[in-house]
């Protein structure tokens, strides 16, 4: 039912934008002390900036060889430092709750150090003992606190040096650090890559009513990336009656790499004005000094309150500066001047804040220097430990790629008890017990959404309209807008937000209308969804299903008809299902939704109107278990999805006209791939054809051939034959499209040629 009419209105007027505050927050300590900011809090803020600064200065020493932990030590890996930007990291994390979320950047050491430190600072004695993994032996609280800080910094340095004890077991390194226990969802080496993830985490917080805030830390370069627009637009949707609790925090250090934000790669002075594009509140955008830690703290504290009250998202820009190059190999003076650097050095955030501490009698000059000396000594100590920590065993290289858990045994804990306008029901079966494929999809979604309220469905046109192929009809009426909702036409945002949501408590089913459109989300799928679990040490669970369709044969031409199943299958970390029958689509979709790993679930548009027997009783189908669609003894035909229909028709022709009995194998899932069922068939037949709708070059059919030949070479009487589309984009004209797709006649011809060898 339509909720809001869009009526024609053409009244003359003008759009008036609200003002964007510039540098309203103070960096002076005195006013903060008078409002309850304690001496201990003031010192913690100072210590945090020192930990960041001297951690990164140690990295420079390691890279340059000025600090050598042991003879033969070699520093490897890309490293991007945030020296000069410490105030943004420390000020932001100082006001977040320990269970609030952050996403970070390739320049994220400061965010990592600060986020976990402020979790540790707020731990009581029992929590510190748990963090340290120790029993209570009567240690003083301050002693335990120091040990926890030491352990945290050691884990951070160990990750940077690629050690097993690192936060991500050395799988991520400097640019990819995460600590999910502390709400740190990961540093990201793709500029802007985490912005949709942050929106997804905020969506999770909103729908689960957790009141957690997400701080999305990005650089000025990210503001010019497409995912920035898609994410902020997604996070500004009004349909839930409250705003997304996410803060987009731009650390504007003036340079993307060497590209200068001001007067070169943009036409605006302040990135905060971009907030005016996304909602009537300008996203509460403001620009503040990123060199004054208390100004940062104030701005973020205000923004978190806005978010917790349901009025997000918020856009904050902090003007700051990095005193080093983009990376340790960057010759920064090729695009800077000495004058510019000297002027910014006058605003060193640690020096500015030190003066405030001294001015307000929190610390003496001597005490300031003593703090610095102590932190420098600590960094040498933890670096020596980290350098001598454990190198990962190559035998463990595959560990952490997939979770081995599911939500099968949740019982009634998450069962949906309240429905929107209708209650779940089964589709009416025909006299043979059959229903349409698309109805089987709906039933699977209906049952899993009733079984687990954490399952949400979203994508383009999936709500009241029921999806482009009517495969989500009725779900909106049962579960309502907070469980089934439309998104902007933003494929990257759909995929990226579903990852963030899956990492933080939801079990999203995200729909990409055509697999052709998945290329719009290539980074989010391949660099984010596929890599997040492994890259962050195998610690994340990602219960995510991305439903999409393939087509062909409908005259939709080159951008709506491709068979791109090889695209998601090439990324380690993704499972790929591609069911043919209504029975299989229901059983596999239920399995995929319960899986704690990301699954790309590919449905064929022609299958939606095909019928099959589908039991009303509960059932699932395991991933990685193929099926024999037709028994035979003379030749093996391997195919999947709707292409199997042509294979079955071809097998009938071959038996009728040639007396050939073809065995047809359907793997049902591409990752994991049931190679055994194919090999066992070839042991009987000795010859095999692989049939795919895609062009042969780089197709998944080529992968099947490689895997099968490796396992069944001794049983093959001839090379495996690949039957595929032509090496052209899908054409529109009916004669050309018919020629392009491997129909029964083409399959029969190729099988006959194979059998004649």
Distance of alpha carbon 733 from alpha carbon 745, whole angstroms: 19
Distance of alpha carbon 608 from alpha carbon 93, whole angstroms: 49
> What is the number of other CB atoms lying within 10 angstroms of the CB of residue 638?
27
* 8-state DSSP, 238: -
Ordered DSSP codes for 687-710: -EEEEEEEESTT-HHHHHHHHHHH
Q: Are strands 662-666 and 627-630 parallel, antiparallel or unpaired?
A: antiparallel
Distance of alpha carbon 137 from alpha carbon 1, whole angstroms: 64
The catalytic residues are: 491, 560
* 8-state DSSP, 714: G
- Among 580, 593, 575, which Cα is nearest to 443's? 593
Distance (Å) of CA 601 to CA 101, 239, 297, 492, 514: 29, 27, 44, 17, 12
Distance of alpha carbon 623 from alpha carbon 371, whole angstroms: 56
- Integer distance in angstroms from the first to the last C-alpha of the chain? 62
Using DSSP's 3-state secondary structure scheme, residue 225 falls into coil
- Across the chain, how many H-helices and E-strands are there? 24, 19
Distance of alpha carbon 151 from alpha carbon 389, whole angstroms: 13
* 711, two tokens: 């396992």
Which residues make beta-bridge pairs with 511?
459, 547
- Residue spans of beta strands (DSSP E) within 259-356: 286-289, 314-319
* 8-state DSSP, 83: T
Distance of alpha carbon 287 from alpha carbon 275, whole angstroms: 11
What share of residues in the chain are helix, strand, coil (percent, to 5)?
45, 15, 45
């Amino acid at each position: 039912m339509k909720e809001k009419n869009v009526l024609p209105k053409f009244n003359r007027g003008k759009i008036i934008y609200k003002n964007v505050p510039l540098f309203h927050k103070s960096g002076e300590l005195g006013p903060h002390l008078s409002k309850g900011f304690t001496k201990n809090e003031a010192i913690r803020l100072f210590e945090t900036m020192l930990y960041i600064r001297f951690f990164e200065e140690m990295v420079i020493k390691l890279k340059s060889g000025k600090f050598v932990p042991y003879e033969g030590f070699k520093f490897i890996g890309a490293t991007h430092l945030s020296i000069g930007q410490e105030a943004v990291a420390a000020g932001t994390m100082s006001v977040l709750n320990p269970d609030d979320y952050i996403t970070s950047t390739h320049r994220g050491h400061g965010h990592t150090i600060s986020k976990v430190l402020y979790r540790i600072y707020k731990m009581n004695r029992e929590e510190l003992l748990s963090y340290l993994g120790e029993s209570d032996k009567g240690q003083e609280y301050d002693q335990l606190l120091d040990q926890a800080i030491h352990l945290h910094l050691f884990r951070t340095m160990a990750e940077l040096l690629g050690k097993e004890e690192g936060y991500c077991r050395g799988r991520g390194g400097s640019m990819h650090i995460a600590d999910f226990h502390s709400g740190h969802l990961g540093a990201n080496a793709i500029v802007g890559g985490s912005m949709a993830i942050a929106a997804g985490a905020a969506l999770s917080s909103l729908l689960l009513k957790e009141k957690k805030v997400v701080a999305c830390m990005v650089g000025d370069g990210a503001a010019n990336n497409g995912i920035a627009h898609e994410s902020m637009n997604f996070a500004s949707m009004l349909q839930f009656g409250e705003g997304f609790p996410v803060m987009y925090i731009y650390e504007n250090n003036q340079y993307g790499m060497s590209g200068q934000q001001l007067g070169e790669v943009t036409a605006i002075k302040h990135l905060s004005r971009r907030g005016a594009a996304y909602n009537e509140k300008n996203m509460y955008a403001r620009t503040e000094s990123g060199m004054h830690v208390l100004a940062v703290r104030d701005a973020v504290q205000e923004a978190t309150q806005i978010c917790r009250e349901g009025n997000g998202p918020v856009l904050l820009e902090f003007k700051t500066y990095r005193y080093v190059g983009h990376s340790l190999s960057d010759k920064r003076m090729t695009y800077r001047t000495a004058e510019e650097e000297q002027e910014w050095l006058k605003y060193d955030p640690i020096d500015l804040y030190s003066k405030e501490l001294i001015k307000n009698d929190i610390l003496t000059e001597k005490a300031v220097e003593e703090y610095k000396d102590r932190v420098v000594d600590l960094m040498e100590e933890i670096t020596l430990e980290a350098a001598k920590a454990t190198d990962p065993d190559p035998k463990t290289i595959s560990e952490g790629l997939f979770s081995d858990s599911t939500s099968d045994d949740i019982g009634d804990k998450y069962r949906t008890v309240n429905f929107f306008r209708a209650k779940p029901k089964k589709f009416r079966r025909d006299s043979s017990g059959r229903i349409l494929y698309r109805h089987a999809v709906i039933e699977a979604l209906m049952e899993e959404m009733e079984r687990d309220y954490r399952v949400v469905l979203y994508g383009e046109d999936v709500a009241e309209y029921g999806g482009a192929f009517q495969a989500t009809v009725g779900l909106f009426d049962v579960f309502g807008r907070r469980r089934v909702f439309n998104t902007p036409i933003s494929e990257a945002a759909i995929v990226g937000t579903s990852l963030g949501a899956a990492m933080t408590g939801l079990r999203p089913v995200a729909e990409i209308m055509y697999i052709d459109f998945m290329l719009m989300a290539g980074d989010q799928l391949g660099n984010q969804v596929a890599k997040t679990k492994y890259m962050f040490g195998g610690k994340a669970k990602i219960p995510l299903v991305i439903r999409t369709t393939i087509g062909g044969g409908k005259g939709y031409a080159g951008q709506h008809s491709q068979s791109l199943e090889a695209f998601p299958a090439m990324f380690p970390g993704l499972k790929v299902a591609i069911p043919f029958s209504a029975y299989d689509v229901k059983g596999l979709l239920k399995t995929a939704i319960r899986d704690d790993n990301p699954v790309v679930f590919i449905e064929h548009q022609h299958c939606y109107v095909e019928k099959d027997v589908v039991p009303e009783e509960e059932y699932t189908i395991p991933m990685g278990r193929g099926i024999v669609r037709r028994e035979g003894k003379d030749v093996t035909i391997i195919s999947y999805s709707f292409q199997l229909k042509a294979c079955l028709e071809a097998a009938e022709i071959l038996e009728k006209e040639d007396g050939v009995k073809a065995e047809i194998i359907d793997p049902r899932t591409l990752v994991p791939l049931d190679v055994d069922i194919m090999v066992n068939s070839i042991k009987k037949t000795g010859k095999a054809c692989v049939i795919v709708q895609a062009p042969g070059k780089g197709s998944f059919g080529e992968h099947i051939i490689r895997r099968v030949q490796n396992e069944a070479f001794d049983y093959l009487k001839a090379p495996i034959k690949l039957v595929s589309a032509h090496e052209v984009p899908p054409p529109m004209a009916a004669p050309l499209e018919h020629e392009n797709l491997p129909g029964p006649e083409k399959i029969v011809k190729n099988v006959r040629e194979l059998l004649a060898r």
